[in-house]
Amino acid sequence: DTDILVIGAGLAGCACAAAAAEKGGKVTVVEKTSSFNGRGGGFGAINSRYMEELGVKVDKVNAKQHWIAQCASRANEDLIVKFFNNSEEASNWLLDKCEALGGSAMVGAFYSHDDVYAEQPGYHMLMIPEEAGLTSTGFAGAELCYLDAVRDGAEFVFDSPAVQLLKDDAGKVTGCICETGEGYVQYNAAKGVVLATGDIGGSLEMCEAYAPICAEYGQPRSQYTPAGANTGDGHKMGMWIGAQLQDLPFPTMMHPQAFCWFHGPFLFVNDNGERFMCEDTWVQGKSLAINKQPGGEAWSIFDANWPTDLVNGLPYGGGMFWDSFRPYGSDLELAPEYFKTQIPEYVKQGIAYEADTIEDLAAQIGCDASVLSATVERYNGMCEAGEDTDYYKKPVFLTPVKEGPFYALKVGPALLAVCGGLKCNNDFQCLDENGEVIEGLYVLGNIMGDITAVDYPINVAGNSHGRCITFGYMLGHDLAEA
């Protein structure tokens, strides 16, 4: 018996557990795998004390408009605003945990300055000294919350996948059943059951049904860890007791990071050597356009002048896969300096090629030399004319491919997460098909429906982790104090 039962020890579940436990809540977390789980590079905040110190500000009006637009006006605006208005307090709470271990945070300068697909600053990367003894290889938010939750008395039960939710006669969710090595175990929760079981990315069947765009190329290229753990169990358990899914299709977080991380706004060609898109677009846009090409892959083609072209273009575009993970306030020159070290690594890995002629480059990527030469010639002509009549890329990014050595960097989308889930109200309570609250049942993290829709709003980079922290913090406190 417990008061607050959290299902899933990812970032959302751990943040909720830590927040509830610090307020004296009696918390039990059941987790399918043998550990808490986290991944990635950092978290997005709408504000934090690090941002205050640096004088970095998110333009909330722009950020919200773009979020809504990128989600095709189908996301829950109240939930978005709730994140915006509570992110600062929760982010500082997480930063306290980091600093308690002697760490600090760096705010990234790699956001897009484009007016059409503007991104916001506020992506924080934690820097925690090795002596702290953390085991996380990437973003350590889940581990920081896990450690504090345990310190404050939360119980974590690993290797215990929840398989069914329990409801009383009045329809209130009162607990769950887990399947363990020793058989089935029932957990009863007096105050609430929090579904924090992550996404559906580990279930090809669910991806095909709810997010078909990622199923063909994205799913086999999933970079989610722990691989295969998130099979939409929470979604199914919720639906079995009457919870409603958000509208389909589920948004996919697909970043063009399956092969080379760097590709900038340069000329993209597919495996046939043909251009197919305006390369000056947001991260998701690149992934989706490339996903439709043969093999779900493409090549970023540029010439010896790329460092200058990159630096000249950054003030008008930028963002991930275009800029390096530079800290706020650093020099633009840091971006090419970093990628100069990366390109030879890509070449060694066989995902990039360097050649003195376009014909040789074509031979290396395996396309018809006459097709690639014609594509490059046409592109160079438009660069000279200053107008991209094929795709209307911004003139500032029309940089010709003329001076060898020439480069081809392989680009492809990887599936990070499928961010769709169960509908909820503004207190994170699950809703049934009539829009009525299912008492006792809450959602957090990727299983939360409607905070994103249709596509992932990367304009607030790291908002996935940011929301896990903010909403986990809020719900943990609310449930402990209920």
Ligand X SMILES: Cc1cc2nc3c(=O)[nH]c(=O)nc-3n(C[C@H](O)[C@H](O)[C@H](O)COP(=O)(O)OP(=O)(O)OC[C@H]3O[C@@H](n4cnc5c(N)ncnc54)[C@H](O)[C@@H]3O)c2cc1C
- For the CB of residue 188, give the shortest distance to ligand X in the complex, in Å: 16
Stretch that binds ligand X, among 31-39, 280-288, 322-330, 432-440 (CB under 6 A): 31-39
Residue 136 lies near ligand X (rule: CB under 6 A) = no
Rounded to whole angstroms, the Cα distance separating 58 from 77 reads 17
Amino acid making up residue 20: A
Which residue's CB atom is positioned nearest to ligand X? 10
Rounded to whole angstroms, the Cα distance separating 310 from 315 reads 10
112: left (phi over 0), alpha (psi -120 to 50) or beta: beta
The values of phi and psi at residue 43, to 5°, are -130, 150
- For the CB of residue 277, give the shortest distance to ligand X in the complex, in Å: 24
User: Residues 23, 41, 60, 307: which binds ligand X (CB under 6 A)?
Assistant: 41
> Under rule CB under 6 A, which residues in 189-208 are in contact with ligand X?
196-198
User: Residues 2, 4, 6, 10: which binds ligand X (CB under 6 A)?
Assistant: 10
Strands 352-355 and 406-411, sheet pairing: antiparallel
Residue 41 or 327: the one with the smaller Cβ distance to ligand X is 41
Residue 33 lies near ligand X (rule: CB under 6 A) = yes
DSSP 8-state secondary structure symbol assigned to residue 7: E
Cα–Cα distances in Å, from 120 out to 110, 462, 464?
A: 9, 10, 14
DSSP 8-state secondary structure symbol assigned to residue 310: H
User: Residues 37, 284, 399, 452: which binds ligand X (CB under 6 A)?
Assistant: 37
Site map for ligand X, 220-259, x if CB under 6 A? Answer: ---xx----xx--x--------------------------
SS3 content of the chain, % helix, strand, coil (to 5): 35, 20, 45
Rounded to whole angstroms, the Cα distance separating 362 from 75 reads 43
Rounded to whole angstroms, the Cα distance separating 43 from 87 reads 11
Residue 121 lies near ligand X (rule: CB under 6 A) = no
Q: Which residues is 180 bridged to in the sheet? A: 183
- For the CB of residue 473, give the shortest distance to ligand X in the complex, in Å: 13
Residue located via tokens 């945990």: 97
Residue 50 or 224: the one with the smaller Cβ distance to ligand X is 224
Residue 39 lies near ligand X (rule: CB under 6 A) = yes
Site map for ligand X, 398-437, x if CB under 6 A? Answer: ------------------xx--------------------
Rounded to whole angstroms, the Cα distance separating 208 from 467 reads 26
Residue 362 or 469: the one with the smaller Cβ distance to ligand X is 469
Which residues lie near ligand X (CB under 6 A)? 7-13, 30-33, 37, 39-44, 139, 161-162, 196-198, 223-224, 229-230, 233, 416-417, 445-446, 462, 464-465, 468
